[in-house]
């Protein structure tokens, strides 16, 4: 499942300089906890804070958005890397920040543009919602 023959070698070989600079973690700040509470700070905001703490000293971009549209899977985040597959995760907790940063580091050092399964934290294995290909690898089929 982690391999895709349509992924070009040119795109996969984008690591140059500091690999982490090409990785971004996006956290849904509006996500609520399992009770659905409207209390602030929201669980998603706490996950974003935990992710920023876990990324301290690392050159990983952390961004938050108001909604990733994955409400049925509660706390959600995405990990993106320029020219590579993008990943969306759900069923996270307010303390999953370290797992997201571990995933981002694995992604940054990947030579095939995919987050390797081996070494991926369990929350990123169980919580995988979607893997989205980079646009430049898609072939038009009209």
The series of mean pLDDT values per 10 residues for the chain, 142 residues long, is 33 40 91 87 96 94 94 94 93 97 94 91 96 82 60
Residue 60's pLDDT is what? 93
In a domain, 138, yes or no: no
CATH number of the domain enclosing 50: 3.40.30.10
Residue 139's pLDDT is what? 74
In a domain, 11, yes or no: no
In a domain, 7, yes or no: no
In a domain, 80, yes or no: yes
In a domain, 142, yes or no: no
Model-level pTM?
A: 0.82
Domain extent at residue 122: 20-133
- Alpha-carbon distances of 7 from 70, 78, 86, 99, 134, rounded to whole Å: 26, 20, 13, 26, 9
Residue 96's pLDDT is what? 97
Residue 10's pLDDT is what? 32
In a domain, 50, yes or no: yes
Count of domains for the chain: 1
CB-count exposure of residue 128 (10 Å: 0-12, 13-18, 19+): middle
Residue 105's pLDDT is what? 95
How, if at all, do strands 128-132 and 61-65 pair? unpaired
In a domain, 58, yes or no: yes
Residue 13's pLDDT is what? 32
In a domain, 79, yes or no: yes
């Amino acid at each position: 499942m982690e391999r895709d023959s349509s992924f070009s070698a040119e795109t996969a070989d984008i690591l140059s300089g500091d690999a982490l600079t090409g990785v971004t973690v996006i956290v849904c700040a509006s996500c609520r906890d399992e009770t659905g509470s409207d209390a602030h700070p929201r669980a998603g905001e706490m996950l974003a804070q935990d992710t920023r703490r876990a990324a301290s000293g690392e050159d990983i971009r952390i961004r938050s958005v108001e909604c990733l549209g994955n409400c049925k899977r509660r706390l959600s985040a995405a990990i993106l890397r320029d020219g590579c597959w993008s990943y969306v995760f759900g069923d996270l907790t307010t303390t999953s920040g370290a797992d997201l940063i571990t995933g981002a580091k694995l992604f940054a050092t990947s030579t095939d543009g995919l987050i390797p399964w081996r070494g991926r934290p369990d929350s990123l294995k169980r919580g995988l919602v979607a893997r989205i290909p980079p646009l430049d690898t898609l072939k038009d089929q009209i």
